[in-house]
Amino acid sequence: MNSTAFDASISSGSNSRHVELYKIMRRIRTFEERVGELFARAQSAGSMLHLSIGEESAAAGFCAAMEPMDKFTTHHRGHGIFLARGADPKKMMAEIGGKEAGYCRGKGGSMHIADMGLGHLGANAIVGGGIPAIVGAGLAARHKQDGSIAVAFFGDGATGQGVLYEAMNMAALWKLPVVFCCINNQYGMGTRIDQATANPALHERAAAFGLKAETVDGLDVEVVAQAAQEFCDAARAGNPGFLAIDCYRFYGHARKDKSPYRDPVEEAEGRKKDPVLFSRNQIIKLGLFDETELDALDDEIAEEMDATIDFTIAQAEPPLMSLFRDVYAPSEPEPEAVRTRINRILAND
């Protein structure tokens, strides 16, 4: 099964859209669970993995409104967004595992995945770090007049970064085909949004720059998709925007963070805002699928994502000399390893 955000049924406006969006969210949820499992097996590269469980509607809903030629950047919690844009989960998991078969040959890891072929200009571990690239991509799109847009995905923590405001001002001033998508999961690391800002209505900041601005509830993926479509259409017409999507981060900041800073009651209430479960119940209510059919779909997706772990573990790690690849121009010879150079010099003696 390889359901992507580019399925024709998603943009058709028919009831099949409910099922397709659910598929994407379920794939994201299950993939993230397997990422956590890879970490528990000590098979992931590095010690920092940031899961997007609880935020699936933002990825699935917004990406459903994007076209194949559109460009985007993500933050360090961007696995779900990339998957919603049609990424191969096996190559994603291999990258997270630091393997040669990964999207960036194992060098990017969880927080620096990129694929120009899918319009992914790169994830970024620096909070707000990918936002300026979207202004450049939007300027290029306007110059080429190719009908594409550029989307910056980031978390609420990035609203404390000055580069966001510089980027919003430039996008508004030059009327670039750009959308700033803030996935507000209520926490910047261990600080709740209402303890970090006096006005948590984040879209009002964007409105001050003249951007089309709105906040939507991320519980219902259909609401997100509809709003995203409006913002993407407006951006293509030269009206940049800022869409905030309210979600709740189910787990800690990173995989090993047990979030002791959150009250258990709050956490339990927050997890009731489960977009995957809400979508599942909507599908049953509309009579599109029954529980047995959805269980079978979930099992199929689980099998697909189980295979990503087996694939990753079976792959080879990058060879040592691959350290120099993608650093120098393709026409430049790769540097000679120090050990090789020393052995060559000693052999000449």
pLDDT at 223: 97
List C-alpha distances in Å: 211 to 166, 176, 264: 13, 11, 37
pLDDT at 331 over 90: no
Tokens of 263: 């009250």
Neighbours of 318 (CB within 10 A): 18
Q: How far apart are CA 248 and CA 183, in angstroms?
A: 9
Mean pLDDT computed over every residue of the chain = 91
Which pLDDT tens digit goes with each residue over 218-250? 999 999 999 999 999 999 999 999 999 999 999
Give this prediction's pTM.
0.90
Secondary structure element (H or E) that encloses residue 216, with its range: strand 212-217
- Domains of the chain: which residue ranges? 8-348
In DSSP terms, 182 is beta-bridged to 154, 244
* Each residue's pLDDT tens digit, 148-158: 999 999 999 99
Contact between 100 and 136 under an 8 Å Cβ cutoff? The reply is no
- Residues 267-276, buried b or exposed e (16+ Cβ, 10 A)? eeebeebbbb
Are residues 121 and 153 in contact, defined by beta-carbon separation less than 8 angstroms?
no
CATH, domain 8-348, list 3.40.50.970, 3.40.190.10, 3.30.420.40, 1.40.20.10: 3.40.50.970
Structure tokens at 69: 């030629």
Question: What pLDDT, on a 0 to 100 scale, did the predictor assign at position 16?
Answer: 64
